[in-house]
């Protein structure tokens, strides 16, 4: 029997702007190959899927790119399995941008706090201009059209599946939830002696490092940040509010894993996120974790994480301090057990089930 041939398709800037969606796609690709799938992994917006049974496209975050990918597949008569990696960006485009300006331009915490108090009372739509609202409406319509063209959808959580149903409005496509697995390599770096706060992620608006460091500006703890600095002005603002923070930029994976293994707490308080691959790896390495309350994190971590409102520095600080106050992690604890159930074999099995639905 011939093996199933699958073409994995990711955005053309995958190598230059590496992110969680690309890590997810690459690992998913390797996992299904272990089950006998024959395939190829391409970074392009104009794939050539001729000779493949199915094309697996990742991420509708850039609708114009995803449209060209799907057009090429349909022209070749190849069915598409789509991992939407869908995130609600309304708050990111509005509130998060306003907060960023406040942290970058603000000079005194008293005045910043006054503005934050006003912002917290505002609905997220208040931060959007009419032009931005129209842009988001058009973008959502484009994404809906793309999801409706796929033979099957592979959301990464039940929460994302619900969002595709209710927010995107796609109700007539089959869905198979494929949770993001935890890579257990970091467990090899688990250390008994731990200290400090670690945050791993690109230095950019979405990851909300400015909100994290503003929140922790007066607490005497070691704070390390790892990740490519996409916006230098954000890093400068972070250091102005919290001068003791150490920015390491991109580091070799071995060094990053060592840092995870000795950090007491890892915090990722993004404005929008899936499970957060950095958080999964931090948990595997033995760190206590702080996450935001906006995405699917609660589905992955339940009561084994502390949750923060990314729009409220007081909430962020309280969550971080609660995490530090938790008992030390131990191998085999409930968080360790939780992430060990998120295996790539399970993800591969569910992905294969989605392929069979697409080919029916």
The closest alpha carbon to 286, from 332, 245, 322, belongs to 332
Nearest residue to 270 via CA among 200, 322, 195: 200
Instruction: Work out the average pLDDT over 224-231.
Output: 92
pLDDT at 182 over 90: no
CA dist list (Å): 22 to 25, 114, 300, 358 = 5, 40, 20, 22
pLDDT of 242 reads 96
pLDDT at 21: 86
Task: Specify the pLDDT at position 350.
Answer: 97
Is-contact 306 206, C-beta < 8 A? Answer: no
pLDDT computed for residue 2 by the predictor: 83
Q: In percent, how much of the chain has pLDDT > 90?
A: 92
pLDDT band at 130; cut points 50, 70, 90: very high
User: 3-state class of 319 per DSSP?
Assistant: helix
Distance separating alpha carbons of residues 207 and 195, to the nearest angstrom: 22
Which distant-in-sequence residues (6+ apart) come within 8 Å of 116 by Cβ? 99, 102, 312, 313
For residue 274, is pLDDT > 90? no
Predicted confidence at residue 95, as pLDDT, reads 96
**Residue-level pLDDT at 38:** 95
- Across residues 295-321, what is the average pLDDT? 97
Is residue 86 left, alpha or beta, with left meaning phi > 0 and alpha meaning psi from -120 to 50? beta
Using the predicted structure, report yes or no on whether residue 261 has a pLDDT greater than 80.
yes
Q: What is the pLDDT of residue 231?
A: 86
Taking 90 as the threshold, does the pLDDT of residue 341 lie above it?
yes
| CA atoms of 70 and 57, how far apart (whole Å) | 8
246 pLDDT higher than 80: yes
Which pLDDT score is estimated for 359?
Answer: 96
User: What mean pLDDT comes out for the span 305-326?
Assistant: 98
351, 8 contact by CB (below 8 A): no
Go through the domains of the chain in sequence order and give each one's CATH number.
Answer: 5-88+132-181+343-358 (3.40.50.2000), 185-340 (3.40.50.2000)
Q: Which of 74-78, 142-146, 288-292, 294-298 is the least confident region?
A: 294-298
Q: What is the pLDDT of residues 42-70, one digit of tens each?
A: 999 999 999 999 999 999 999 999 999 99
Average pLDDT, the chain: 95
Mean pLDDT of 320-337: 97
24: helix, strand or coil = helix
Residue 225 burial by CB count (10 A; 0-12/13-18/19+): exposed, middle or buried?
buried
At residue 1, does pLDDT exceed 80? Answer: no
pLDDT at position 215 is: 98
Of residues 17, 31, 9, the one with CA closest to residue 78:
9
What is the C-alpha separation between 147 and 32, in angstroms, rounded?
22
Q: Is residue 146's pLDDT more than 90? A: yes
> pTM (2 decimals)?
0.92
d(CA 239, CA 217): 9
Contact 256, 226 (CB under 8 A): yes
Task: Give the residue-averaged pLDDT of 73-92.
Answer: 96
């Amino acid at each position: 029997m011939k093996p199933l041939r699958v073409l994995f398709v990711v955005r053309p800037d995958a190598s230059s702007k590496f992110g969680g969606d690309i890590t997810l796609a690459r690992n998913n690709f390797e996992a299904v190959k272990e089950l006998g799938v024959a395939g190829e992994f391409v970074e392009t917006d104009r794939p050539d899927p001729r000779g493949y049974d199915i094309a697996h496209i990742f991420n509708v975050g850039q609708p114009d790119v995803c449209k060209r990918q799907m057009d090429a597949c349909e022209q070749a008569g190849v069915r598409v399995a789509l991992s939407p990696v869908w995130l609600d960006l309304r708050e990111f485009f509005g509130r998060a941008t306003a907060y960023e300006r406040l942290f970058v331009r603000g000079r005194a915490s008293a005045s910043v706090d006054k503005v934050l108090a006003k912002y917290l009372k505002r609905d997220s739509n208040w931060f959007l201009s009419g032009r931005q609202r129209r842009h988001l409406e058009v973008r959502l319509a484009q994404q809906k059209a793309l999801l409706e063209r796929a033979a099957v959808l592979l959301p990464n959580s039940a929460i994302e599946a619900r969002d595709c149903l209710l927010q995107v409005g796609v109700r007539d496509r089959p869905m198979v939830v494929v949770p993001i697995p935890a890579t257990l390599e970091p467990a090899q770096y688990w250390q008994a002696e731990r200290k400090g706060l670690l945050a791993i992620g690109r230095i950019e608006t979405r990851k909300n490092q400015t909100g994290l460091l503003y929140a922790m500006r007066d607490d005497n703890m070691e704070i390390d940040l790892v990740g490519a600095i996409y916006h230098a002005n954000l890093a400068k603002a972070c250091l102005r509010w919290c001068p003791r923070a150490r920015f390491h930029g991109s580091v070799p994976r071995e060094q990053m894993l060592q840092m995870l293994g000795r950090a007491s707490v890892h915090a990722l308080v993004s404005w929008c996120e899936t499970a957060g691959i950095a958080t999964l790896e931090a948990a595997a390495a033995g760190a206590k974790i702080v996450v935001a309350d906006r995405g699917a994190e609660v589905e992955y971590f339940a009561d084994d994480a502390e949750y923060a409102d990314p729009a409220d520095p007081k909430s962020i600080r309280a969550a971080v301090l609660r995490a530090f106050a938790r008992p030390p992690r131990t191998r085999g604890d409930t968080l360790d057990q939780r992430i060990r159930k998120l295996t790539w074999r399970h993800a591969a099995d569910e992905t294969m089930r989605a392929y069979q639905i697409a080919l029916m």
